[in-house]
Chain A
Amino acid sequence: MNKHSKILIFLIAIFIVFTLFPAEELNFDTICSNLAKFKITTGEFTQIKTTALKKSLKSSGTFILTRDGVVWKTLKPVASTAAIFDAYLVTTDAKGKKTAKSMLNNDTFLKVNDIVSSLFAGNSSEINKNFKVSFKANGAEKWEAVLVPKDKTISYAVSSVKLKGTFVKGSVAIFMAEIYLADGGSMSYIFEHQKHPEKLTQEELNEFKKD
C-alpha cells in the first residue's frame, strides 16, 4: 500500500468516525444532560445583591449542591449559613445558633427549591415545565440561557434568570447566574473553584443536620 493510499484510508476513517460519532451539539438539553452527571457540586460563590435603587450588597462564601439539598455558607461580611433539605430551611447565625423551619406548607418556597435543584441537576424536562428557555451558544465552549418563569407565583418575585456557563471536553459548569427581580432589583452570582466530589466530607455532611 503506497503512502497516498494510507493517507486516503486515514481520512476515510476519520470521516467515518466523525460521521458515526459526531461532536456533541451545544444546546440546552446537552447542558442539562451533562449537568445531570454530577451528584455533588461544591465551590465558592460571590453574591451581589442590587436593590431597585441600585445599592449593591456584596457577600461571598461557599456552597454545596447535592440531589438532597443545598448549603449556602456566607463567610463575608457576616458569617451565616442557610441549608435547605428535607423541606426544611435551617439557618445558622454567626454564633452557631441553628434554627430549623419546616417549609412543608410553603409551596412557593418548595417550588423555588425544586427549580433550583432541577437547574443544577440538569433536569431539563422540569426546567422546561417551569420556564420558557432561550439558549444561546457563544462559540464552542461558552453558552448562556435565559429562563423566564411560567408559574405566576414565581413570576411575582422573579422576572427572569440568566445563566452563563462553559462546556469544555464534555464537562459543563455554570459560572454565573443573574436573577432579575420583579421589583427592579437583581441578584448575581459568580461560581468559582467548582468541584464534583464523589462524597461529602464529614464536616460538609454536618451542614445537613437540623441541630
Chain B
Amino acid sequence: MNSKKTNGKFLLSWLIFHIGVIVLLVISYSYENGKFSLDSDLFNMMPKPFEEESLKKANETLMQKLSKVAIVLSADKDFEKAKAGAERIYEKLNGSPCFVSVMLKTDTVDIKEIADFFYKYRFDLLDDETIKAIENGGAEDFAQEAVSRIYSPFTMLPLDNINSDPFMLAEHNLQKYLEVLEHSGTALRPKDGVLAAEKNGLWYVMIKTELSPKGAALASMDNGITEIYDICGKIKAETGTRCVVSGGTFHSHKSSNSASEEIKIISIISMIIVILMLTLVFRSATPIILSLISIFFSLFSAAALTFAVFGKVHLVTLVFGTSLIGSSIDYSLHYFVHASGNTNLKSGGEIRSKLLPGLTMAIISSSVCFLALIFAPFNLLKQMSLFSVTGLVSSFLTTTAIFPYVPLPKNRVVRGVGLFEKGFALAKKINGKAAICAMVVLSLILLFAFRENFGIENDLKKLYKEEGELLENEKEAYSVISYAPVSWYIVSGSDENEVLRKEEDLREKLKTIDKNSDGVMSTSVFIPSVEKQKKSRAAVEKLLPFTENQFETLEFDGNEAENFKNTFREAEKTLLSVASDDFPASIKEALSSYRLGKIKDKYYSIVIPNFMTETKVFRSLIEGNEGIYFVHKVEDINSDLDKVTTIVLEFFLAAYILMFIVLRFFYNTRQSLKIISIPFIVILATSAVFAATNTRPEFFSVTGIILVFGLGLDYIIYTQENEKTKDPVEKRLEPFAIFLSFFTTIVSFGALALSSFQPVHLIGFSIFTGLCAAYLAALFYTSGDKK
C-alpha cells in the first residue's frame, strides 16, 4: 500500500510537471498570438553589444537589414548576355514573397525628379567647401564660374530655370552630390539602364535583393536563397552566363542547411548506437521503448517550456537538445540495469528507493550547474540552461514515476557486466590515487608545454570558415563591387536635427583621417542639418550683390534680378527636413540605408566611412562624444564573447562553491572533496587537451565544460553511493550502469564533435574531453581500493 501511495505521489509529480509545461505553453502561445519562432540567424546567437535598450534595438534593426541583403552578379564576357541574365533573375525574383525588394534597373532613377529636388532646395545644399570659399570673398568667382558652366557644353541639368537660378546652384549641388556618391557604395556604374562593371574581361551586372522573413528562413529549402540558386542554375545551363553571389545570407543558408542535415544525421546515428547498445545489454525491447519514451518526454517538455518562456528559440539551443538524449538516458539506464540485474530488488518501487539518493544528487548537481547559466546576460545561454534543466527534470520524473509501474522482466539478466569487468580489470588494479595524480600532472605538463595556446580567445572568424565556391564567389564579388563595410558609427539624438548635427561634426573629424578622400556616407550627406542649411543660405546671400551683373551677362531683360532676390527671401520660410519626406525616390532609397529613424524615444542613424583604418583610431574620434557609438561587427562580437565567457566562468565558480555546500549536507568532507575535485580535474584535462591541439578555449567550449560539470559529477556521485552498498550484486551492477551512462553520453556528444559547424563542434569536443576525464577520474577513485 505504502508502495502504491508512493508510486501515486511520484506519478502525480510527473503529471503536474508535464501538464504544467503544456498549460504554460498554451498560455504563452495565446499571449504571443501564435508567434513562436525558431531563430536560425547565426548572428542572433551572439551577445548584443549594447546595454541601452533603444540602442540595442537600433543596432539590431541595422544588423537585420544588413543580414537580409543578398547580391547577385550576372557575369558574362558579353555585356548584353550578362544583362539578359540579370533581367531573367530579376523577373523571377521580383514579386516573390521571399523578397522585400529586388533592384536591377538604374533607369528607375528619375532624372527630372532629382533635378526638381536640387532646384527646389538650391539655396540649402551648398557644401562646406563652397560655403567657406564664398564667405572668404569668393562670391564673384562663384558667379563667374556659374556663367562658364551655363555656356559649357558639359552641363548636367537643363537650363530652364536659369532665370530663377542664375548662379547654377542646383547644378553645383548636384555635381557635389555625385562626387560624394562616386566614392560611396559599390564600384559598379550605370550602363544601359543597369549597374555594371567590367573586370578581367567579364561584365558583371548587379541585382541587389533584400530577403523577407520567409526568404531569410534558414535550414529551409523553400527560401529566397534556393530561389536564387535555382534560377542561376537554369541560366548557366542554358546560356553559360554564371552568377556570382555575395552576402551573409548565403553563408547562413549553407551553414544552417549543413548544420540541420548534420543534426539529423548525428541524432539518428546517436540513437542507433544507443539502441544497439541497449539491445545487446538487455535483449529486450522494453528498456529501449521506455528509454525512447523518456527521451521523447524530455525533449518535448524542454522545447515546450523554452518556447513558452522565450517565444523565439535559437537553433543552437535545439542542437544542444540533441545532447539531452545522452543525459536523459542516464537515469533510464540506471533504472533498467537494476530492474534487469538486481534480483535483490523485487519491485519498481524498491528500485526507485535504491536509486533515489544517487539520482537526486545527480539531478541536483546537474541542475545547479545548468541553472548557473540562467543568470548569464545572454539569451542563448538562458535558453540552453532552461532547456537542459527542464529536460533533465522530466527524465528524472519519468524514471522515478513511470518506470516503477512497469512489471519487472521475468528473466532478470544484464549482459555485458562480466565483459565490462574483464575489460576494466586492468584499470581496477591501478593505484587510483596515483592515476589521479598522473592525470593532474600530465595535464599540467601539457599546459606548460603548450602554454602559448592557452587562454580564452573568441574569434568569430574561426567559428565560421568561408570555403569552397562561396569563398571564391565572395572574393570575386568583392573585387567587382569593392564595397563591404565592416564598421560604422551609430549616432543617436533626441530629434532628427540633433542626429544630423552630430553626423556633420563626426564627418568633419573623419575627414582628418581620410587620407585618400574616400569620404563618408550618412543621412547628412543627403539632408544637411538646419544649422548647415542656414549657413548655405548665408553664403547665397553673399551672391545677391552680383545678381544684376549675372543677368546682364546672360542677356536677360526685365526684373529678373529682383524676382530672383524675392524668390530667395520667400524660400527662407522653408528648409529641407527629414520629416518632410520630400525627396526623390533614389535619395529615399539611399536614406533607407543610413537612417534608422525613431526607436523608442530616440532617433538613430548610421555613418559609414568608405575607408579602413585601425579601430582604435575610429574610436578615438568619438571619445567624450555622447550619443555616438562605434561598431565593428566582428571585433565587438569577439570582445563581447570574451566578456560573456568570463561571466560564465564567474557564474560557474559561484555554482561550484554552492555545489560544495549542498554536497556537505549529504556527504562527509572527504567524500565532498572527492566529488568536487572532479570538475577541477575536468577543467585541467580539457584545458590541456585544448592547448595540445591548439584549440583556444572560447565561449562555446567553455559552455561545454560547464555542462560536463553537471554530467561528470553524476559518475562520481553514483560511485560514492555505490560505496555505501554492501550487496555484492549491486556493487557489480553500479559500475556497469555508470559505464553504460558514460558510453551513451559520449556517443551523443562525441558525435557533435564531428560537426563541421564550429560552435557545435567546439561544444561537442569540450564535452567529449571533459566527460572522458570525469569518467576516468571516477573510475580511478575506486580502483586499487581495498574492498
Contacts and interface: CB of A to CB of B under 8 A. Distances in A.
A181 to B, nearest CB: 7
B160 interface: yes
A57 B189 contact: no
A105 interface: yes
A40 B160 CA distance: 35
Contacts of B153: 47, 72, 82, 187
B554 interface: yes
Interface string A82-93: 100000010101
A183 B157 CA distance: 9
A185 B107 contact: no
A125 B567 CA distance: 50
A74 B148 CA distance: 8
A59 interface: yes
A63 B425 CA distance: 103
B111 to A, nearest CB: 6
B482 to A, nearest CB: 11
26 contacts: A47-B151, A47-B153, A49-B151, A51-B159, A57-B554, A59-B151, A74-B152, A77-B147, A77-B151, A78-B144, A78-B147, A78-B148, A78-B553, A80-B148, A82-B153, A82-B154, A89-B154, A91-B152, A93-B144, A93-B148, A105-B182, A105-B189, A107-B191, A108-B190, A183-B160, A185-B159
Nearest to B189: A107
Interface in A72-128: 72, 74, 77-78, 80, 82, 89, 91, 93-95, 105-108, 111
A80 B162 CA distance: 19
A152 B191 CA distance: 8
Interface in A34-83: 47, 49, 51-53, 55, 57, 59, 72, 74, 77-78, 80, 82
A198 B154 CA distance: 28
A147 to B, nearest CB: 16
A33 to B, nearest CB: 26
A147 B771 CA distance: 81
Given A78-B144, A105-B189, A106-B182, A53 B151 contact: no
A114 B136 CA distance: 39
Nearest to A187: B153
B158 interface: yes
A151 interface: yes
Contact of B158 (A77, A89, A183): A183
A90 to B, nearest CB: 11
B191 to A, nearest CB: 6
Nearest to A59: B151
Contacts of B148: 74, 78, 80, 91, 93-94
Contacts, number: 82
Interface in A161-211: 181, 183, 185, 187
B350 interface: no
Interface of B: 107, 111-112, 141, 144-145, 147-148, 150-154, 158-160, 162-163, 182, 187, 189-193, 553-555
A156 interface: yes
Nearest to A112: B154
Contacts of B192: 151-153
Contact of B160 (A53, A74, A152, A157): A53
A165 B502 CA distance: 59
B259 to A, nearest CB: 41
Report, nearest first, the 6 A-B pairs whose CB atoms are least far apart. A80-B148, A107-B189, A59-B151, A152-B193, A183-B158, A51-B159
Contacts of B187: 105
A200 to B, nearest CB: 21
Nearest to B151: A59
Nearest to B187: A105
Nearest to A102: B182
A55 to B, nearest CB: 7
Contacts of B554: 57
B190 A49 contact: no
Contacts of A53: 160
Given A105-B182, A153-B193, 7 more contacts: A51-B159, A78-B144, A93-B141, A94-B144, A94-B148, A157-B111, A185-B158
Contact of B111 (A59, A91, A95, A156): A156
Nearest to B175: A101
Nearest to B152: A82
A88 B127 CA distance: 23
Contacts of B144: 78, 93-94
